[in-house]
Amino acid sequence: MNLARHDMQPDRAPIRRLEEATANRIAAGEVVERPASAVKELVENALDAGARHVDVAIAAGGRSLIRVADDGCGIPAGELALAVERHATSKIKGGDLVDLHHFGFRGEALPSIGAVARLSITSRAQGADAAAAIEVTAGKLAPVRPAALARGTVVEVRDLFFATPARLKFLRSEMAEQRAITETLRRLALAAPATGFQLRDISDGGAGRSLMRLEPGGFDADGALRARIRAILGPQFVENAIPVAAEREGVRLSGFAALPTYSRGASVQQFLFVNGRPVEDRLLGGALRAAYADLLPRGRYPAAVLFIACEGARVDVNVHPAKAEVRFREPGLVRGLVVSALTHALAGAGHRSATTISRAALGAFRPPEAPSAAARQAAERFQAPPLPSAPGFAEALGAQSWSAPAEPAPEAAPEAEIPPLGLARAQLHETYILAQTADGVVLVDQHAAHERLVYERMKAARAEGGVPAQSLLTPEVVELPAEACSRVLEAAGELAALGLDVEPFGGRAVCVRATPAPLGPCDAAALVRDIADALQAEAGEDPLRTRLDAVISRMSCHGSVRAGRRMNAAEMNALLREMEATPFSGQCNHGRPTWVALSLADIERLFGRR
Q: Which residues bind ligand ADP (CB under 6 A)?
A: 41, 45-46, 49, 70, 72-75, 83, 89-91, 104-110, 153
CB-based contact 40:181 (threshold 8 Å): no
Among 28, 31, 37, 45, binds Mg ion (CB under 5 A): 45
Helices (H), ranges, 251-307: 282-292
Q: Taking contact as CB under 5 A, which single stretch among the options 13-21, 97-105, 230-238, 302-310 is the one that binds Mg ion?
A: 97-105
CA distance 201 to 28: 24
Give yes or no for a contact between 42 and 49, defined as CB atoms under 8 angstroms apart: no
H/E stretch holding 260: none
Number of residues lying near Mg ion (CB under 5 A) = 3
Name the binder of 436 from Mg ion, ligand ADP, none, CB < 5-8 A by kind: none
- Pick one of ligand ADP, Mg ion, none as the site partner of residue 91 (Cβ within 5 to 8 A by kind): ligand ADP
Query: What is the closest distance, in whole angstroms, from the C-beta atom of residue 325 to ligand ADP in the complex?
Result: 17
Question: Toward ligand ADP, which CB reaches closer, 105 or 301?
Answer: 105
The residue within the footprint of Mg ion, chosen from 104, 152, 350, 419 (CB under 5 A), is 104
109 binds Mg ion (CB under 5 A): yes
Nearest-angstrom CA–CA distance, 325 and 315: 10
Rounded Cα distance, 429 and 119, in Å: 68
Closer residue to Mg ion in complex, CB, 70/174: 70
Cβ nearer to ligand ADP, comparing 125 with 534: 125
| Residue 589 and residue 556 in contact, taking contact as beta carbons nearer than 8 Å | yes
In 408-499, DSSP assigns E strands to 423-428, 432-437, 440-445, 469-479
Residue 75 or 527 with smaller CB distance to ligand ADP: 75
Q: Is 516 in the site for Mg ion (CB under 5 A)?
A: no
By CB neighbour count within 10 A (0-12 exposed, 13-18 middle, 19+ buried), where does 225 fall?
Answer: buried
CA distance 254 to 120: 39
Q: For residues 91 and 230, which CB has a smaller minimum distance to ligand ADP in the complex? A: 91
111 binds Mg ion (CB under 5 A): no
Give yes or no for residue 321 binding Mg ion (CB under 5 A). Answer: no
Minimum CB distance to Mg ion, residue 110 (Å): 7
The 8-class DSSP code of residue 301 comes to: B
Binder of residue 114, out of ligand ADP, Mg ion, none (CB less than 5 to 8 A by kind): none
* Planar angle of CA 452, 453, 455, nearest 5 degrees: 65
- 298 vs 541: CA distance, rounded Å: 12
Distance of alpha carbon 12 from its chain centroid, rounded? 52
Choices 107-115, 245-253, 334-342, 508-516; region in contact with Mg ion by CB under 5 A? 107-115
In which element (H, E) is residue 318 found? Answer: none
> Considering CB distances under 5 to 8 angstroms, the limit depending on partner class, which of Mg ion, ligand ADP, none binds residue 83?
ligand ADP
Query: Looking at beta carbons only, is 105 or 256 nearer to ligand ADP?
Result: 105
Pairing type for strands 304-309 and 270-274 reads: parallel
Smallest distance from ligand ADP to CB 249, Å: 31
Rank residues 84 and 598 by Cβ distance to ligand ADP and give the closer one: 84
Share in percent of the chain as helix, strand, coil (round to 5)? 40, 25, 35
Which CB sits closer to Mg ion, 88 or 149?
88
Closest-CB residue for ligand ADP? 104
Q: Which residues contribute to the site for Mg ion (CB under 5 A)?
A: 45, 104, 109
